[in-house]
Each structure stands twice: as structure tokens, then as C-alpha cells.
Chain A
């Protein structure tokens, strides 16, 4: 690996202390199968309560912050401004650029400052999910930048990134067809865990030993158009399970919808207070 000369360097190698955990620490709670660690129930559309706020970053055109359980994300939108790549053939519509990054301290294992391939994948998925919601033809020859920073990763980051980014776009006054909301589930056999935490996402406390229908699903959804703009699934799931999962995610999005609407209208009211008369 080439040495990074643009940062203060530490030792060549260092290991996370979690690799050397005492064996005694690993004990499993064999409580009721239905309850999840944070008290939610399996198989129910029980998304974590979210805290959202718009317009926190003074320098950005639009910004949003979302907190769901311990997952914390911040998103800033800059633009529309003149596109940097003038050689692009399609100048009739605007260009959407997404950049999603994890802060080095956001995960259990310290991440690198250099953007990894998973961050690039997530950026791309975010882009694909957002694009159908934005009226890009209204912004010819310009680009709109969406920057997402994950401050703490406790599962379902992509889903929340989609929600957060669409809020920031709305806060920036970018014309959109609809908001884009995201929701994730983790399928474990016959049951599912909606809006999974980091441990649940990685199957750390798998309830049953079955390996069938095990996977994750993230859906990006346009609530008032009732359309799906992004769908990402991994693992192995049957057709029925998958369609059921998509339906569950949509249900989850609808739970989120009023909270987001409220936060946005609050932001608008703050920006342009209703006249006294």
C-alpha cells in the first residue's frame, strides 16, 4: 500500500482491541424469540423513532440531519452550480453528484480516511435512488452536489441516507417530483427485522439456525407518487418473501413520512416566517 503523505501517520499496523476480547464476554441472551435487543418486536413494522432537523449547516444551500436509534447522518446539498465536466454530452439536464462517506470513528472498527469501495457503492446506490425524484431537466448545464457523512453507523445507513439526502435537497429548494424515503429490513427465515441495527444487520444474534430466506433489503420509495425508485437486496430470498419484504418497507416508509413532512414544514416556516398581517 502506498504511504499516505497527506495525513499525519501512525504506526504501520495497529489492531482494533475488539480482536482480543476475553472469551467470557461473549454470552448470548436467550430471551424470548420475538423481542429484539432494543425492545422492538420481530415481524412488526416498528421502525426506530427518528429525530430529523433541516438547515443546520450554515455554509450549505440545504442540509439535513437524521438520527434513528444510534445511526446518525448528516447531509449537505450544494448547488445548482455550473457543471465541472463540460465535455458531457447531455447538457440539457442537470447532473446529480452524490458522495457518501463514513467518518473514521463511525464504525466499530476504525475506518480509513480514504474512500473505500463500499462507500463508492453506497454513493452510487444513493444516486440511483434519488435521481428519479429530482426534476433535473430544470437545471440544464449545472450540477447539484449531495454530500452525506455517516457520523455513527448503527445499521440501515443507506435507507436513512436516502431519506436524509432528499430532505436536504428539499431544504435547498431543489425542485423535486416527490420526497424519497428509505427503509431497510433484515429477513431472517419467516420473520423480519425492520430498520435493523448494526448487530442485527450482520446477523450477530441470529434467532434461528435456519439459513433459508436470509438477507437484507433496502427500498427507496416516492410516497405521494407511490413509486419505488431504488431497490437493493442481498442474500437469498424466495419470491414471496421478497415481495412481502418490499411491501413491509413501503409500510415503514409511510410511518416515516409524517415526521419528515413536519420537519420540512418547520424548516420552511423558520426560513420564511408567516407574515403578521
Chain B
């Protein structure tokens, strides 16, 4: 039996990402915080001050440095009803992506292309801040962002999804669902999407010459051609000046701006997404970009390792 989550808990391929700074320092929390039983109350009553007291010491309440990502784990192919699937955990944030291929007529304005339809859902299950019903603004903005990255990076060439020009093509429904929302949704969604696309196997389709009806052979499947590997890195700005990487939900809610940088393996940028907030100088943006390129290498290594271990029989 293939346990989906136990993989993550115990056997999962884990990688610890180290921050900008090479010196490893022990976490020295402000002593009056750790010793004081009021600490929990302080956190609830004055969250901003609580975080400030940690940031003054160049660390965060969860023990990370400012430029440190949380442990990222990846599990692929655990959903057998999907053509490709991946489950990503960045710290507590858990995102699952399932890909299902369906057949359709190609778009009229591009008869040699297929469709990729990404959607992000934030069900009430993942956090108490989301209500049941149609997706809220946050989920819609995330869906649009993922769609834009797919378009910008050309992770899959839509021409590859065409089966018969003007007649038949694949529609890749990439449904991304957040199971546990603890910040940095966009990074997790991108890793889940990329890993699921790499995991996806579509059945072979031939068109019967006499009836012109498609025939599907589930026995022979082939994987998708992944052209680029877009990987994101998200940052928040705290108190208009301090940059923090990979924010938790709490840090996000206290931030004054968020930035997501998406890079590909050629160190080109696929997206520099900063929806408003505090203004940043070009220099600070440059710092984000260089952190994003190192993050890209780390995530690529993780994905390759997991895909490799999935191929070798256990």
C-alpha cells in the first residue's frame, strides 16, 4: 500500500534549505520571551511587536533565519485516479496538484494547440479564514498567477498537446488544492504543478481513419515534454524594510508587501509578481532575484531526486 502522507512524515525525501548567510548561529530568543509565561498572550495581543522582537535579533519565531526556507518535501504519483499528481509541503503549508487529461476540439484561433487549465482552490478545510462557496479573491489571483506563469515560461508547449490539427487536442486540467494553509501558497502551488506535470502520463490516442473517432489505449502512456522548469521564491517586506523569505500565514498577514520571483533554469525571469505594497528599490529586487535563483537549484534537485526515486522500484 502506498501511504500518501506517511511518505511525507517519515520516508519522504527531505531537504533542508539553508539561508543567505553561511554562518550558522544558534537561536537566541529574547530571554524574557521564552521564560515568560506571558509570551503566548503577548503573541496574541501584540503580534507585530512579538515579531519585531525576534527580527531585531535576526531570527524568526519559528527559529529560522530571515533568508531561510522551511523544509520542503515532495511526494508524487500518489493519486491513482489522476494522470499525474504531486503533494508538496513547505513547512506546514500543504498543496496537492492533480492533473487529468481530457479530449476536446482545439481552439478556433489556434488549431495546432491544446489547452492547459490551471485552477487553485482554497477550500474551508485548509484554514478557518476561507469560507465555503465559490473561490475568493485570493484563490482567483493565485489561479491567474499560475496560468500566467505557465504561459510565460512555456513549461509545456501547447503545440505538444495537439493530437490532430484542428480536430482533436488534449486539455490538461491542473487542479491545485490547498490542504493546509500556512503562508507561501504560490511557491507551493508552482512546485506541485511542476512535479505533477513531470509525473503525468497521458494515454496514447490514435484516430480511426474510417470513423474519425479517437481511440484511446490506456496501456501505453507517455510522459509530457517539459521544456522549462519555473520555480518560485516568495518574500515579504516587514515594517517597510526587512525582507523575509518563505513567510508563514501569520507573517504574511503582518507584512506590508509580498513579492514572488519565478525563475527558470536559464536564470531568466518568468514572473516578477509584486501586487502593490511598500515600494522597493532595484537593489532589493536584485537580492530577491539572486535568492530565487539559488532556490531554483535547490527545488530542481529535490524534484529530480523524487522523480528518480519514484522510477526505481522499491
Contact = CB atoms under 8 A, between A and B. Distances in A.
Direct contact of A and B (CB under 8 A): yes
A10 B124 contact: no
Nearest to B214: A20
B81 A153 contact: yes
Nearest to B139: A6
Interface in A1-54: 4, 6-11, 13-18, 20-22, 25, 49, 51, 53
A105 B3 contact: no
B119 A8 contact: yes
Contacts of B4: 65, 67, 72, 151
The residue among B96, B119, B181 with the most chain A CB atoms within 10 A of its own CB is B119
Contacts of B181: 59
Interface residues of B, number: 60
B80 A70 contact: yes
A103 B135 contact: no
B13 interface: no
B96 A110 contact: no
B147 A8 contact: yes
B98 interface: yes
Contacts of A74: 125, 179
Contacts of A101: 123
B5 A25 contact: no
Given A11-B107, A11-B171, A25 B218 contact: yes
Nearest to B89: A56
Judged by DSSP, the binding face of A is loop
Contacts of B118: 8
Interface residues of A, number: 54
A76 to B, nearest CB: 5
Contacts of A16: 102-103
A13 B106 CA distance: 11
B263 interface: no
B125 A147 contact: yes
A6 B134 contact: yes
A107 interface: yes
A108 B217 CA distance: 15
Nearest to A69: B1
> Which 3 residue pairs of A and B lie closest in terms of their CB atoms, listed nearest first?
A105-B98, A10-B117, A14-B104
10 contacts: A6-B134, A10-B115, A14-B115, A17-B205, A51-B1, A103-B96, A106-B98, A113-B175, A147-B123, A149-B177
Given A16-B103, A105-B173, 8 more contacts: A8-B117, A8-B147, A21-B215, A22-B215, A56-B180, A106-B79, A106-B98, A110-B175
